[in-house]
Amino acid sequence: MRFIIFLFFLIFSDLVQAQERKKLQSMFTDEVPIIDGILSEDLWNNLNPATDFTLMWPETRNGIKIPKQP
C-alpha cells in the first residue's frame, strides 16, 4: 500500500510542476531611452508590457510591503 501511495505522488508531482514558462520579448532600438521613471518618449509607447509575472518576496529587506499597482 505504501508503494502505491508513493507511486501516486511520484507521478502526479511531475504534473504540478509542468506549468507554462513565462515569456518576455525584447526589442532592439537605435534610440537611447532615458530611464527616469517618466514614460514620455515615443519609444516607451511602442513596447509590449511585461505582465502576468509573480512577485516572489512581496516586501523589501526593511519589511516594507510593496504596493500593488492598479
pLDDT one digit per residue (tens) for the chain, 70 residues: 888 888 888 777 766 665 677 777 887 888 888 888 887 778 878 788 777 777 666 666 676 676 766 5
Per-residue model confidence (pLDDT) at position 43: 80
pTM of the full structure: 0.35
Per-residue model confidence (pLDDT) at position 41: 79
Amino acid identity for residue 27 in this structure: M
In SS3 terms, the chain reads as CHHHHHHHHHHHHHHHCCCCCCCCCCCCCCCCCCCCCCCCCHHHHCCCCCCCCCCCCCECCCCCECCCCC
Rounded Cα–Cα distance for residues 42 and 1 (Å)? 64
Residue-wise pLDDT tens digits, 18-31: 567 777 788 788 88
Rounded Cα–Cα distance for residues 41 and 34 (Å)? 8
